[in-house]
Every structure is written in structure tokens, then in C-alpha cells.
Amino acid sequence: MGKPMQVGNAAKDGVVCARMAAAGVEADLDLLAPNGGFIRAFVQDGSAQLADLVDSKPGQDWAVLHTSFKPYACLHGIHPSIDVAREVAVDVASDDVAAIRVFVAPGVKNVACFEQPATSLEAKFSVHYCVAAALVGVPLGAGGFSDASVGEANIRRLISLTEVVSEDGRKMLDSAIEVDLKDGTTLRGETDLSRGHPGNPLSGEDLERKFLDLVEPLRGPAAKELLSLIQRFESFDTVADFGKLCR
């Protein structure tokens, strides 16, 4: 359960900071810069200076604008295999599958180590499950990982037919798949970069769908209203104005 804790703690810290600010807690406005500031403490060789940020030119390219988004609720290294499986699935009836081979980077096979996952959590770290589920059309957002889907008979059959092959030279976000059919045909697919990477970005519709999949179970119909507010974020004069409408 370590992965959800990472983002959960980050979100919690943001909420705590916002509540502290609302309660009037004050802090040094020069927290980043002076001799004892954050930058000096964490980059002690002097290679980072606040002036580098302050003097940046309009339109400068910021790394934060090139964030990766995960379309699937599983180990990032499995994503390219899911992408390829979804493409191959267009030409496959699951009953016709005789064998599946998935080619991944060595590190992916080491971490995604559950060949016969028994729980939804293990499935998130299983190339076997994710590829099998993708081939039968299971959406692999948050709702695609449940104990029920892990035990589904057709998925278990495909899992048993799957071999994951570690290939030196492959990177974490590329993968290839071969699917042997009972008639002797072999279907192949490959990707050099999984969806969601800045070099292969998700569409606006993909991001909206991901947001609603995660927020609607918590906020119901209000999720779409919140999405609309976020899309208009830059039109607000202050963060406070935005925050009032989000409550």
C-alpha cells in the first residue's frame, strides 16, 4: 500500500498548509532565498539560486509543465504493455488465444513480479493480469482492479497463457507483445513510449475521464462542477476566489 501513501501524504500536507494559512499562521517570506533558506539547505553547493527563477523570461519552458500522467491504476512500467494489449485486442477474440508473450525491461519484470495475482493489490504489480485484462477489454483505471476481476475465469485463463520475457536494452516505458492464435496466426504489437508520458501525452478528454473516475465516487455530480472550475483556474484573480467555489 506504499504507493497510495505517497500521493496521500502530499495531498494531506497541502490541506494542512492551507488550513494553517487560513488560521493566520505566518512564515518567513524569504524562506527560499537567504543564507539559511530552503535552497541553501537542500542545494549546498550553490548550484541553484533564487535569481535563476526570478529572472526567468516569459514563455520559458518549465519542467513542471511536462508532467507524466498515469492512465492506468498500476505500476508505471506495465503501462506500455497495456497500451499494446489494447491495440492488439481489436483483432483478437479471447477464446482464440493460444499463447501470449510480453517483452519488457528487466526492472519491470523484477517489480511486477506477481505471475498469479490473488488480490487487487497484487494485480497492480502483475504484467500477466494487466495484459490479460486489457485483451478482454477491462478498463484499467481505478475500477479495473478488484478482487472480482482478478478472479474472473476468462482473465485467469489468459493469465495462464502469458509469459513475460525480460529483454536487456528495453526501457521502462517500452514494450512488445506477441499473441499466438489457435489458427496458427501470430499478432504483434510494440510501443516505444507509453501513453501519458510528455512525449506521448494523454488527450484532454483522457485527463477529464481520469479526473471524473477518481472524483465522482467521492463528490458525485459535484465532480463535473469541480472539473469546470479547475479548467477555468487561470481566470480567477486569487487562489482564495477559486477555493471558495470548490467548497
Q: pLDDT for 80-103, tens place per residue?
A: 999 999 999 988 888 999 999 999
Please give the pLDDT value at position 57: 65
Sign of torsion over alpha carbons 22, 24, 28, 30: positive
Q: How far apart, in Å, are the Cα atoms of 106 and each of 83, 172, 174?
A: 18, 8, 11
Alpha carbon distance 72, 105 (integer Å): 18
φ, ψ for residue 104 (rounded to 5)? -135, 170
**Edge-to-edge strands of the sheet including 162-166?**
162-166, 97-104, 175-181, 186-191
Instruction: Write the pLDDT tens digit of every residue in 98-118.
Output: 999 999 999 999 999 999 999
Alpha carbon distance 133, 127 (integer Å): 10
Residue 213's Cβ-count burial label (10 Å; 0-12, 13-18, 19+) is middle
Cα dihedral 80→84→89→94 (10° resolution): -70
DSSP H helices in 161-235:
204-219, 222-231
Query: Taking 90 as the threshold, does the pLDDT of residue 151 lie above it?
Result: yes
Q: What's the CATH fold of domain 76-191?
A: 60s Ribosomal Protein L30; Chain: A; (3.30.1330)
Q: Are strands 175-181 and 97-104 parallel, antiparallel or unpaired?
A: antiparallel
Alpha carbon distance 28, 128 (integer Å): 51
In angstroms, how far is the first alpha carbon of the chain from the final one? 29
Please give the pLDDT value at position 92: 84
Alpha carbon distance 206, 72 (integer Å): 11
pLDDT class of 242 with cuts at 50, 70, 90: confident
Residue 108's Cβ-count burial label (10 Å; 0-12, 13-18, 19+) is buried
Domain boundaries, the chain: 76-191, 203-247
pLDDT class of 52 with cuts at 50, 70, 90: low
Sign of torsion over alpha carbons 149, 151, 152, 155: positive
